[in-house]
């Protein structure tokens, strides 16, 4: 595949061609039409950038995918392990190798503007850019871009009209002396305009652009995604619907100062703009991260339903293991079936990660019909899954002990539990960021000279993306990003882990809601309310390693699990849950 693509590069006289994992909106998860990097490289992980030269190829990805990429990459592609000692970034690599008159190619609609700006700053040679989508001719049976029917999200689930949200954004624009604002990120558009759809797998978003001025708003949609009723409904909120690609012409005529985010707008759109640019985070990103009272009430309900589904699954797993055949695919299907029974369920929030023993060591492993493990014998089964409900988005990981565990396995599980509980029960002063709190979850592992190559937690959308910014919990800052303070109303995951290549993986994940606590002479203290209610597997815990406080934290949590979940279970399930949430 790569050799054939290199022949195309020679024909087009392109020396370097970059294939990111992006669509026109820089979405984290992309539809089949935009899976060019996977098509060319064989690597199916959700993050990575492919660089193809005339005689070589390289794939950059992060620590979550090192093992998976090494397994999947096509012959002739070198794995570049991001953030590892001695491994240059893509920009550093290009700066070292690109010569005068070399041509760097990419599809400008799927390339972030910021990358091209960084390229201009980093390279001190006279190179040329070829803004061309080579996949149009190289991928003959490429799927069409998704164009599903969109709908207006019911107000009882979100609590603020599109008009009210736009007024908040327009006020922000006035404060920053901006006359227009371009929005291209799909979850921001979905939140602002209260529009939902199914153009992105497992994310209820719509392929769209938006332009907000001080007196008018425009929503750019594909033909076929909307009807006359939607047009009329939006007109009442001073919103006009226009054709999806019309924005490329409209932005060329903007006057004054335009607010946009160069990290999330594509290069093609950016290159059309001729007026002054104010580069900054989309204000909607910060606004939507802080859930309002209606959203919080709804998401709590969604998490109870999700807890019921996963608790029912856990009962099925524990009572049927060794009696019925199980594999990673059938177990994933079983998890989905319990969610589908719940009211207002629409889809999974991401493809279920179901890994048995050594497969669980791959942080974002996905079993396939062609390559999956039979679940039998002794070990750990890690399941990271989530649901999209009209009233909220969920994300939960549980690692289950099946058969007999060794003492070291129980020790490792208990260490992960200690880290998860420490963060879940944290009290902190307002002003703290995720960087401030990450060490709470990581300390039990660090004390044993173990680490996990990823962050500890991420934000979660409200019937939107399961990964949402701007806040997160991680050990180190991201380049070009200002750290975000944790605010009351933010939702964040708590998911430390241990991953031993070729052996097993352990992760325990709850969702947490950030809330205000005591305010005194020292300032405003904050803490977390738990949203996720599913038992932690007592069969995997070494009780002797837990302190009195940790046992109390676990017992209090399990009491809350029983109180919240048991009313929705059968008598048999309820009796089982009583045993699996007993005090230790």
- What residues does 81 pair with on adjacent strands? 61
d(CA 546, CA 551): 6
Compute the chain's Rg from CA coordinates: 24
Full strand arrangement of the beta sheet holding 345-348: 345-348, 387-389, 392-393
CA distance between the termini of the chain: 57
Residues contacting residue 260 through CB under 8 Å, at least 6 positions apart: 181, 182, 270, 273, 277, 278, 279, 282
- At residue 400, what are phi and psi to the nearest 5 degrees? -110, 140
Domains and CATH numbers, the chain: 2-138 (3.40.350.10), 151-288 (3.40.350.10), 291-542 (3.90.230.10)
328-340 vs 293-320: helix crossing angle, rounded to 10: 130
Q: Residue 41: which H helix or E strand, with range?
A: helix 36-41
Note the pLDDT tens digit of each residue in 64-114: 889 889 989 999 999 999 989 999 999 999 999 999 999 999 999 999 999
Note the pLDDT tens digit of each residue in 413-442: 999 999 999 999 999 999 999 999 999 999
Q: Does the pLDDT value for residue 564 go beyond 90? A: yes
Q: What is each CA distance from 380 to 374, 377, 386, 449, in whole angstroms?
A: 13, 10, 19, 21
- At residue 141, what are phi and psi to the nearest 5 degrees? -105, 35
- Identify each DSSP E strand in 115-167 by its residue range: 128-131, 151-152
Q: What is each CA distance from 173 to 182, 212, 281, 295, 451, in whole angstroms?
A: 11, 9, 12, 25, 42
**Three-state SS for 188?**
helix
Number of other CB atoms surrounding residue 318 within 10 Å? 17
**Three-state SS for 424?**
helix
- The mean predicted confidence, pLDDT, of the chain is 97
CB 194 within 8 A of CB 152: yes
Per the listing, tokens 């940790």 go with 550
Question: How many Cα atoms within 13 Å fall on the side-chain side of residue 117?
Answer: 15
d(CA 283, CA 261): 10
Number of other CB atoms surrounding residue 122 within 10 Å? 14
Q: What pLDDT does 478 receive?
A: 77
Q: What percent of the chain has pLDDT over 90?
A: 95
Long-range contacts (CB closer than 8 Å, 24 or more residues apart) made by 251-257: 251/182, 251/211, 254/179, 254/180, 255/179, 256/178, 256/179, 256/180, 257/177, 257/178, 257/179, 257/180
Q: What pLDDT does 477 receive?
A: 87
Note the pLDDT tens digit of each residue in 531-549: 999 999 999 999 999 999 9
Q: What pLDDT does 483 receive?
A: 83
CB 222 within 8 A of CB 244: yes
Note the pLDDT tens digit of each residue in 127-169: 999 999 999 999 999 999 999 999 999 999 999 999 999 999 9
Helix boundaries (H) for 432-504? 434-446
Q: Does the pLDDT value for residue 519 go beyond 90? A: yes
Full strand arrangement of the beta sheet holding 276-279: 239-243, 217-221, 208-213, 180-183, 257-260, 276-279
Q: Does the pLDDT value for residue 212 go beyond 90? A: yes
d(CA 180, CA 260): 9
Per the listing, tokens 């550093």 go with 92
Q: Residue 272, by phi and psi: left (phi above 0), alpha (psi -120 to 50) or beta?
A: alpha
Mean pLDDT in residue range 515-525: 98
Q: What pLDDT does 480 receive?
A: 58
Note the pLDDT tens digit of each residue in 174-200: 999 999 999 999 999 999 999 999 999
| pLDDT level of residue 479 (50, 70, 90 thresholds) | low
Q: What is each CA distance from 474 to 395, 412, 425, 436, in whole angstroms?
A: 17, 21, 17, 9
- At residue 248, what are phi and psi to the nearest 5 degrees? -65, -30
CB 18 within 8 A of CB 58: no
Q: What is each CA distance from 525 to 292, 430, 515, 516, 518, in whole angstroms?
A: 20, 6, 9, 6, 5
Residues contacting residue 555 through CB under 8 Å, at least 6 positions apart: 583, 584
Mean pLDDT in residue range 308-336: 98
Note the pLDDT tens digit of each residue in 269-285: 999 999 999 999 999 99
What one-character DSSP code corresponds to residue 199? S
Q: What pLDDT does 68 receive?
A: 86
Q: Does the pLDDT value for residue 363 go beyond 90? A: no
- Identify each DSSP E strand in 415-563 by its residue range: 427-429, 457-459, 468-473, 491-494, 497-500, 504-507, 510-520, 523-530
Full strand arrangement of the beta sheet holding 379-385: 353-356, 379-385, 396-402
């Amino acid at each position: 595949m790569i050799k054939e693509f290199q022949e195309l590069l020679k024909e087009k006289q392109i020396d370097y061609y970059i294939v990111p994992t992006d669509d026109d909106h820089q979405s984290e998860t992309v539809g089949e039409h935009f899976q060019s990097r996977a098509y060319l490289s064989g690597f199916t992980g959700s993050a990575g950038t492919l660089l193809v030269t005339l005689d070589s190829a390289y794939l950059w990805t992060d620590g979550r995918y090192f093992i998976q990429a090494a397994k999947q990459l096509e012959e002739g592609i070198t794995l570049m392990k991001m953030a590892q000692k001695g491994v240059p970034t893509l920009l550093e690599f290009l700066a070292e190798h690109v010569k005068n008159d070399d041509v760097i190619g990419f599809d400008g609609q799927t390339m972030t503007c910021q990358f091209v700006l960084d390229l201009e700053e980093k390279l001190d040679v006279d190179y040329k850019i070829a803004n061309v989508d080579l996949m149009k001719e190289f991928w003959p049976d490429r799927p069409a871009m998704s164009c599903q029917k969109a709908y207006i999200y019911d107000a009882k689930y979100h609590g603020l009209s599109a008009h009210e949200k736009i007024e908040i954004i327009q006020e922000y624009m006035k404060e920053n002396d901006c006359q227009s604002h371009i929005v291209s990120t799909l979850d921001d558009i979905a939140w602002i305009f209260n529009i939902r759809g199914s153009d992105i797998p497992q994310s209820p978003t719509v392929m769209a652009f938006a332009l907000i001025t001080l007196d008018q708003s425009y929503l750019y949609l594909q033909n076929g995604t909307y009807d006359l009723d939607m047009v009329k409904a939006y007109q009442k909120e001073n919103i006009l619907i226009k054709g999806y690609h019309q924005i490329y012409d409209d932005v060329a005529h903007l006057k004054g100062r335009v607010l946009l985010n160069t990290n999330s707008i594509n290069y093609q759109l950016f290159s059309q703009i001729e007026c002054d640019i104010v580069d900054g985070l989309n204000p909607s990103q910060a606004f939507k991260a802080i859930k309002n009272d209606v959203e919080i009430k709804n998401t709590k309900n969604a998490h109870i339903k999700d807890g019921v589904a996963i608790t029912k699954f856990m009962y099925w797993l524990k009572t049927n293991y060794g009696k019925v055949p199980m594999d990673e695919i059938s177990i994933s299907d079983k998890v989905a079936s319990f969610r589908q029974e719940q009211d207002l369920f629409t889809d999974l929030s991401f493809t279920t990660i179901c890994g048995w023993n050594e497969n669980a060591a791959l942080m974002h492993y996905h079993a396939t019909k062609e390559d999956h493990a039979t679940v039998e014998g002794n070990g750990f089964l890690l399941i990271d899954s989530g649901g999209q409900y009209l009233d909220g988005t969920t994300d939960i990981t549980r690692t289950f002990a099946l058969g007999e565990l060794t003492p070291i396995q129980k020790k490792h599980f208990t260490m992960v539990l200690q880290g998860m509980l420490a963060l879940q029960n944290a009290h902190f002063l307002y002003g703290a960021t995720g960087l401030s709190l990450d060490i709470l979850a990581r300390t039990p592992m660090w004390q044993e000279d173990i680490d996990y190559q990823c962050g500890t937690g991420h934000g979660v959308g409200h019937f939107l993306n399961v990964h949402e910014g701007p806040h997160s919990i991680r050990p180190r800052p991201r380049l070009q990003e200002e750290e975000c303070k944790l605010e009351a109303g933010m939702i964040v995951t708590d998911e430390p882990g241990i991953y031993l290549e070729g052996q097993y993986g352990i992760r325990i994940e709850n969702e947490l809601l950030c809330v205000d606590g005591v305010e005194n002479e020292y300032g405003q203290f904050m803490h977390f309310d738990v949203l996720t209610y599913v038992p932690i597997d007592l069969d995997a815990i070494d009780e002797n390693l837990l302190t009195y406080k940790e046992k109390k934290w676990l017992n209090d949590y399990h009491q809350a699990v029983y109180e919240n979940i048991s009313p929705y279970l059968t008598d048999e399930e309820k009796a089982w849950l009583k045993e699996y949430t007993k005090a230790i």
